[in-house]
Chains A and B, each alone.
Chain A
Amino acid sequence: MDCDDVAGQLLPYIDGALSEAESEQVRRHLEDCASCREEHAAEVELCAALDASTAGLAGPGFADAVMRELEPTDQPAPGSVVQFYPWARWTLAPMAAAAAILLAILGAQAGESGSAHEQGMARAYEGASTWSSDVSAVLSALAESSAYGYEAFTSELATKSGELGSLVQVATVLAALCCAALVAKFRSSRIEEPRS
């Protein structure tokens, strides 16, 4: 431990705030270094002078006065998880983005399959009305519509991958905007007071 290291440790050493090992290091250095011993003595005097000048300065009942000044409705806003877990700042936003993209894709798929189902049902109705009241024909038409619906979903999913890709792109842009909003919200901010 050199003199520069000791200089920064003198105050906590005086306050008894160092660990045993650190205190021992400082003590040994002070035994061997007259300059640092002199500096230590000076800081002891400074601490004594300035501590004496502030002892009880706030006056009795200061803390009670502060608490009375707080309105009954005063409550600090709930702390964010990022306040106590800073690593969340770098994981929550990407997780939110991934969730947003996944939801966008699933929504697109649901939309596509829904439209295929509707088309199949429309064909079933058409078939039933065309083939009059032939129940078997209607049942056959319904079976065809169901098959059509399934085939339509798979074929449309394959053939309309371009549209789905566009939807994914839109979803990605929306997710990126959500990420930006989340990061802005999770950023720790300082109180900006007007300066003179």
Chain B
Amino acid sequence: MEDADAIARCLAGDKAAYQRIVAAHADPLVGILKTIVGNVEDARDLAQETFVRAYRNLHTYDASRPFKPWLYRIGKNLAFNHLSAKKARPEGRLHGRGEEVLGDLQSEERSPMAGLLEDERRAAVDAVLAQMRPQYREVLVLRFMGRLEYEQIAETMEIPVGTVKTWLNRAKERFRQLAAESDSGKEIS
């Protein structure tokens, strides 16, 4: 287990080993946090804070258990605290109506032409996720962004494994439905 090796090195004093952990988990963590807080800037800031806090508390991590659920729980809690502390954002919340997401995405830094297709695809996925129920969105991103197993999702969300499977099936079905409707240009009410 690569995470366990890197963490063992960190605890032995090899700070640079932590950079490997950050590099391995940064993108999915930012993606997951983005579905909670609604924009990539805040998600990046929160992801940074998550990694810093995880490093300072690495001695509390139980190395016999998977690392990702532990890391994601820290990030989730920071994200929910952030939402509680922040006022409602009129310019767009990812978990609001789909069309509000567009205003938020326009504030993001635009990549060069070569990356435009990537941005459009990302925007399309964000728009679909925004229209899902929060619990379905969360279980979906933990599974397909975070690559967590059912038991790990259950641990992260503090729900039974059976509930994870049920919600995941519904989430996949809902995502497919919304994606198909988005492709066909229909508006979701």
Contacts and interface: CB of A to CB of B under 8 A. Distances in A.
Contacts of A52: 118, 121-122, 125
Contact of A53 (B22, B77, B122): B122
A57 B22 contact: no
B150 to A, nearest CB: 6
Interface in B57-80: 57-64, 70, 73-74, 77-78, 80
Contacts, number: 147
B31 A46 contact: no
A4 B66 CA distance: 23
State the main secondary structure of chain B at its contact with A.
Answer: helix
A54 B56 contact: no
B80 A76 contact: no
A196 interface: yes
Residue of A46, A50, A80 most packed against chain B (CB within 10 A):
A50
Contact of A58 (B30, B144, B150): B30
Nearest to A15: B147
Contacts of A57: 26-27, 30-31, 34, 40, 43
B63 A53 contact: no
A47 interface: yes
Contact of B74 (A7, A66, A193): A193
Nearest to A83: B63
Interface string B148-188: 01100000000000000100000010011001000000000
A76 B44 contact: no
Contacts of B16: 67
A80 B11 CA distance: 10
Given A62-B26, A75-B13, A83 B61 contact: yes
Contact of A77 (B43, B59, B64, B73): B59
B15 A75 contact: yes
Interface string A80-97: 100110100000000000
A122 interface: no
A54 B81 contact: no
User: Size band of the B side of the interface?
Assistant: 35 or more
B102 interface: no
B13 A196 contact: no
Interface in A144-196: 188-191, 193-196
B11 A86 contact: no
B52 interface: yes
B48 A62 contact: yes
B61 to A, nearest CB: 7
A55 B26 contact: no
Nearest to B28: A54
Contacts of B13: 75
B139 interface: no
Interface in A52-77: 52-59, 62-67, 69-70, 74-77
Top 6 nearest A-B pairs (CB, nearest first) are: A193-B77, A54-B31, A58-B26, A76-B58, A77-B59, A196-B84
Interface of B: 8, 10-11, 13, 15-16, 18-19, 22-23, 26-31, 34, 40, 43-44, 47-48, 51-53, 55-64, 70, 73-74, 77-78, 80-81, 83-84, 118, 121-122, 125-126, 140-141, 143-145, 147, 149-150, 165, 172, 175-176, 179
Interface of A: 7-8, 11, 15, 42-43, 45-47, 49-59, 62-67, 69-70, 74-80, 83-84, 86, 188-191, 193-196
